[in-house]
Amino acid sequence: MPEFKTKEEYEKWKEQKLEEARKLKNNAPKQTEKSEQQSEIKPIDSTLSNASRKNINNKIALIILLATLGLVISFLAVPKNYESGSNIITQKEASVQNTTAPNSNRNDTATSPASSKSWPDIIQQSRASVVVVKTPASSGSGFIISPEGIIITNSHVIQDCAEVEVIFNSNESKKASVIKSGTIPLDIAILKVAGNNLKYLPLADSNDCKEGEEVVAIGAPLSLSETITKGIISNCNRQLKDELQDIKYIQTDAAISPGNSGGPLINKKGEVIGMLTWKIVRKGFDGLNFAITSNVINNFKNGRLEKVEESAKKVNEENKKAFSSYTDRLKLLWMNEYTSYYNKIAGMVAKGNLSVELGTQLLSKATTPPDGFSSVPDWLASLAEREIKGELTEDQTYNLIKRSFEL
């Protein structure tokens, strides 16, 4: 059975079949012989014509049915592509779009260069901007914040020096001048070294800080340069007891040690979100480390903390008085203990219970400071500072002093 693409093709085929039927009728043979008892017989041509018509009509009906069915199937099989009204697209187009269209739920910032860096990449890029800051009495860390050689560190690292030594990660050493130094607790100093196009670290906006955010600390504890530790931010806006209101700290559990002071605390974008400043050292406490926020550093650098500086100087004077008071009390305590110890040794020598030589050795030992201290006053000053910070109680300080005079 032929397939028809148009109605005209079907009509043409229909006329052709009818013509073939008419020719069949005209060419049919005539019957000449009849039986003796002839009954009424219809002409053979008439009989053939009716049968042909019936057959043709049946075929036509079947053809029409099949053609209609074919058109319906073809109509359903052809994909629709509406130009307006709805957003229906072909399966092929949908497949292409599914492989190329962006995910609407994706966080675009996650693909930005700043947020897609891995920690090894961040550390590799940052370490060239971290320096060791040395003075005749101590050493600490610092970091470059401009290509012209501006360096940030703690004021307690440089102490009262007007010039310090800066050692880069390439081991190159340069002299740095101190152009500005804050008064503790505004523990920030700005240094300047000669140079152009130096690698530097940008300051973050510490208002964007989030608790739980991962950070790394880079510094030189015990003069071991480029020491890297990793942790999280425990608190973004810590204001400590007796501190000035505008001085905020970030608390982190990233491990730091003496020598880390002045080093950067770096976020996942490779920005400095804080400067490592101090930690609480007390038996039973761990991970209480603090970094002064990047916004405080920026405000200090841009001269927006003059009033805070004035207040810091007043606080510093009060702390000096308190420190002097604590130190004087400990000196008096030590002298009382030494006098009692001396009298005990002298009495034992006088009674012959102790030789003069051994008595002299015991007295000499009592006046020798513990390891790490140059003199007894230096040791007592350290005890006073720890007591002021709350690291030692008054009783603990007293027991440490008494221990020096045990026989």
CA nearest neighbour of 263 among 301, 206, 203, 220 = 220
Residue 156 bears catalytic tag: yes
Spatial distance between the Cα atoms of 300 and 296, rounded to a whole number of angstroms: 6
Q: What whole-number distance in Å separates Cα of residue 154 and Cα of residue 278?
A: 10
**H/E segment holding residue 153:** strand 150-153
Q: What is the DSSP string of 276-320?
A: EEEE---TT----EEEEEHHHHHHHHTT--HHHHHHHHHHHHHHH
Quick one: CA dihedral 252, 254, 255, 259, positive or negative? negative
What Å distances lie between residue 232 and 62, 252, 270, 290, CA to CA? 81, 6, 15, 12
Report CA-CA distances (Å) from 281 to 58, 73, 285, 287, 392.
105, 84, 7, 9, 9
**Rounded-to-integer distance, Cα 64 and Cα 7, Å:** 10
Told to judge if 187 belongs to the known catalytic residues of this protein, a careful annotator would answer yes
Catalytic position from the list 261, 294, 311, 404:
261
In the residue annotation, 246 being an active-site residue is answered as: no
* Long-range CB pairs of 274-277, under 8 A, 24+ apart, other chains included: 274/206, 274/249, 274/250, 275/143, 275/152, 275/153, 275/154, 275/188, 276/141, 276/217, 276/219, 277/154, 277/187, 277/249
Q: Which of 129, 139, 141, 156 is catalytic?
A: 156
Candidate list 141, 155, 181, 187, residue with the active-site label: 187
Nearby residues of 242 by Cβ (< 8 Å), 6 or more positions away: 315
By the 8 A CB rule, do 233 and 251 touch? yes
Report, as residue numbers or ranges, the catalytic residues: 156, 187, 261
